[in-house]
Amino acid sequence: MGSPIASSALVESVLAGQMSAIARLITHAEVGGEVCQDALAEIYRHTGKAHIVGITGVPGSGKSALVARLCKMIRGARRRVGVIAIDPSSPFSGGSILGDRIRMNELVEDTGVFIRSMATRGALGGLARAALSGVDILDAAGYDVVLIETVGVGQDEVDVVQAVHTTVVVSAPGLGDDVQAIKAGVLEIADIHVVSKCDRPDANKTITDLKMMLQMGEQPLQENNWKVPLISTSAVSGEGIQELLSIIDGHLEALKLSGDLQIRRRRIAETRLLKSAENILRDEFERQQEGKISELTNRMMSGNIHPYAAAQILLNQVRGELEL
């Protein structure tokens, strides 16, 4: 992909749905770099057809098993499905997620399914951008449904979740109070609630607790009168998976009918525009103002100037230059 010609050949292969080309372009998107921008710009022109679904839940909530089940169900209906799993592993822990990945492997022989893990390590800040580029690529490559699996904590995750059409929040029985507390922060972003592992004896308590928490929050109806449903599923028995898929599909229909799909798509576009502008500004700023930054850091260290005040001085200096 060193030259524009190679880049455009790669894009054509992606648009034709070639899995090796898709994998290569996603890798380019992860690594970043200028060459890749042309390809991604071309890809973006072919997006807008897929249903983008976020699957969010704390570690241990059984997201991956649920995603694997959903993939099979979607394939059963002859639709193509892509998955971007934002994976908090690092080279240190290569082995420790195999439990989940092995379940995924049942799907790898099927060309109608594309699954890609992205590590958070080394990509902090750039992760959301890479994940959203991955979604664009799968969308343009003709996958009907694109699932993004995330743990739903932190800014990167929020950026990703803000860029989906339908958000599924997964809770599970048997997790500690501390874990459940983390989950609470994302409850309100749900379009659909799932209590997974409903084959477990303590699942009923989790469902009751969750219903109580949702009422306590006095959740209003969403703008489009969508009443957020709560479904219990079991990746072991397959219970509830078909129902979940029907509801995911139903949510897209509801968004279309109410006109909210267009509103969500607009919000996604605006958010991505602003994030991109911010990234470009930050890169240029750090490159061009190195001397000033060093000098102001010295002043912060010696005179204990507050970072905010120092930042204002820095920006005033930069503006002074621009106005000359």
Beta-bridge mates of residue 117? 85
Q: Which is nearer to a second copy, 112 or 182 (CB)?
A: 182
Report the b/e string of 268-285 with b at 16+ CB within 10 A.
beeebeebeeeeeeeeee
Q: Which of residues 290-309 bind a second copy (CB under 8 A)?
A: 293-294, 296-297, 300-301, 303-309
Q: Which of residues 225-254 bind a second copy (CB under 8 A)?
A: none
Q: Which is nearer to a second copy, 62 or 245 (CB)?
A: 62
Alpha helices in the chain (DSSP H): 4-15, 19-31, 34-44, 63-76, 98-105, 127-140, 155-161, 177-187, 203-216, 241-258, 260-288, 290-303, 307-323
Report if residue 204 touches a second copy, rule: CB under 8 A. Answer: no
- Minimum separation from the CB atom of position 283 to a second copy (A): 11
Report the b/e string of 51-85 with b at 16+ CB within 10 A.
bbbbbbbbeebbbbbbbbbbbebbeeeeebbbbbb
Stretch binding a second copy (CB under 8 A), from 13-21, 221-229, 249-257, 264-272: 264-272
Report if residue 158 touches a second copy, rule: CB under 8 A. Answer: yes
Closest CA to 149 of 242, 91, 82, 98: 82
Q: Which of residues 80-99 bind a second copy (CB under 8 A)?
A: 87-93, 96-99
Q: Which of residues 39-78 bind a second copy (CB under 8 A)?
A: 40-41, 44-48, 58-60, 64
- Minimum separation from the CB atom of position 172 to a second copy (A): 10
Stretch binding a second copy (CB under 8 A), from 12-20, 102-110, 115-123, 235-243: 115-123
Q: Using the rule CB under 8 A, which residue among 185, 204, 205, 253 binds a second copy? A: 185
